[in-house]
Chains A and B, each alone.
Chain A
């Protein structure tokens, strides 16, 4: 790019006289000092500067009074909206957390209740079983006692029979040995003494 610049100047000065001579004669004459850059034709400066300051002042006024406040309002509004939304979200979250806590407590309570119920049921069932077992046992014991009594009776009867048989046997033996049967009372007394 730097190589281009030097040849621009001769180009400009080369063409300038041609322009003056031919097409742009009138404008070049009006430009007076002419020659170099068109930007240095000072007779156009005043008009441009005044007009630019005029436009700048209007634009500044519009931006300062109209556009900037509008933008700031939107920014502020957005900030408010966002912070409100965030606050709401936080609140909702807190509520949800509270509800979750409550639900958890409820579940915990239900679990405890069911546990207690199961324990109670188990106790009740155990009691029932124990009671039934005791009843059965009582019945069985009663039967055992009955049976024992019956056995005792049977044994006594048997024993009585044994004594009678023994007395009979003894009297029979005595009769065979002596030829003379002892009296029943004697036999019985003798057996009783032996048994």
Chain B
């Protein structure tokens, strides 16, 4: 049976050789299958948005309608979570959403899923948290640290609460990273395993009497899981966007509300 993890292997397509960087050590510079998947996703997003907005009319056509739904959905969550100040942050959330969504979907059509690479999801997670920190310090200065001191907590438990809040803040990029990574990788591994069973079943190594039912069942599972993966692909992009909004809201509206 084929190795279900083989699909996550980074394969250099155009190799530029290796360099040794100061802190991070030896790095291979290459245009890999991961770069290709990212580029395709990027291209698809740009193409889609171009098609959607180029001849935008007051009465939308099919493509524009689809784009407007997507746009309106993200605009809606940004507006409802962050409030009026969220308008300025909309492009960031929309970029995150569309880019992740495109990578997830491209992964279901092509052989490589960029968002199943932890390097990619970690970049998204860290970018988001860096933006949160940047807005937090730019808007509130050192008042940013009030984020860890929730109001209305009695003083004896305050130290514990502060520690918990601080640790949970530190874990935000980690959870953002691992949630997306784990979902995408898990789904693709499951797909590959069941698809592998189909090959094993019809391959004859377990006898066709047992093999054909196994193959049929596994084929059904693969089809079902593929449908599920489309849902997950959308859902994870959406969840990432929603969490981005929630984390941004924490610092944009720091001090009022909660």
Q: A52-B120, A53-B123, A56-B99 are in contact. Are A67 and B35 (CB under 8 A)?
A: no
> Closest CB of chain A to B78's CB: distance in Å?
11
Which residues between 176 and 207 of chain B lie within 8 Å of chain A, taking CB atoms?
181, 185-186, 189-190, 193
Which residues between 27 and 51 of chain A lie within 8 Å of chain B, taking CB atoms?
27, 30, 37-49, 51
> In the complex, what residues of B have CB within 8 A of residue A134's CB?
none
Contact partner, A43, options B28, B54, B91, B185, Cβ 8 Å? B28
Is A195 an interface position by the 8 A CB rule?
A: no
> In the complex, what residues of A have CB within 8 A of residue B38's CB?
48, 51-52, 55
Is A86 an interface position by the 8 A CB rule?
A: no
Contact at A37–B8, with CB atoms within 8 Å? yes
- Measured CB to CB, the nearest residue on chain B to A71 is B71
Contact code string B65-90 (vs A, CB < 8 Å = 1, else 0): 00110010000000000000000001
| Range class of the A interface residue count | 35 or more
Is A81 an interface position by the 8 A CB rule?
A: yes
Contact at B193–A44, with CB atoms within 8 Å? no
Is A8 an interface position by the 8 A CB rule?
A: yes
Contact partner, A62, options B24, B46, B71, Cβ 8 Å? B46
Q: A11-B3, A43-B18 are in contact. Are A60 and B35 (CB under 8 A)?
A: no
Contact at A77–B8, with CB atoms within 8 Å? no
> In the complex, what residues of B have CB within 8 A of residue A55's CB?
38-39, 42, 99
Is A130 an interface position by the 8 A CB rule?
A: no
> In the complex, what residues of B have CB within 8 A of residue A81's CB?
58
> In the complex, what residues of A have CB within 8 A of residue B46's CB?
59, 62
> Closest CB of chain B to A6's CB: distance in Å?
12
Contact at A68–B90, with CB atoms within 8 Å? yes
Is A99 an interface position by the 8 A CB rule?
A: no
Which residues between 42 and 89 of chain A lie within 8 Å of chain B, taking CB atoms?
42-49, 51-53, 55-56, 58-60, 62-64, 66-68, 70-71, 73-74, 77-78, 81
Contact at A48–B68, with CB atoms within 8 Å? no
Measured CA separation A62–B117 after assembly (Å): 25
Using A44-B28, A44-B119 as known contacts, list a sample of 20 further A-B pairs with CB atoms less than 8 Å apart, ordered by residue number in A.
A12-B4, A19-B3, A27-B11, A43-B28, A44-B34, A46-B27, A47-B29, A47-B35, A49-B119, A53-B123, A55-B42, A55-B99, A59-B98, A59-B99, A68-B71, A68-B90, A71-B53, A71-B67, A74-B60, A78-B58
Contact at B29–A63, with CB atoms within 8 Å? no
Is B49 an interface position by the 8 A CB rule?
A: yes
Measured CA separation A67–B53 after assembly (Å): 6
Is B56 an interface position by the 8 A CB rule?
A: yes
Contact at B5–A37, with CB atoms within 8 Å? yes
Q: A11-B1, A60-B91, A63-B95 are in contact. Are A46 and B21 (CB under 8 A)?
A: yes
> Closest CB of chain A to B12's CB: distance in Å?
8
Q: A11-B1, A38-B5 are in contact. Are A60 and B95 (CB under 8 A)?
A: yes
Measured CA separation A76–B28 after assembly (Å): 48
Q: A43-B28, A59-B42 are in contact. Are A70 and B91 (CB under 8 A)?
A: no
> Closest CB of chain B to A2's CB: distance in Å?
10
Contact at A59–B28, with CB atoms within 8 Å? no
> In the complex, what residues of A have CB within 8 A of residue B190's CB?
1, 4
Q: Which of B117, B118, B186 has the most chain A CB within a 10 Å cutoff?
A: B117
Q: A12-B3, A40-B118, A48-B120 are in contact. Are A63 and B27 (CB under 8 A)?
A: no
Contact code string B111-130 (vs A, CB < 8 Å = 1, else 0): 00010111110111001000
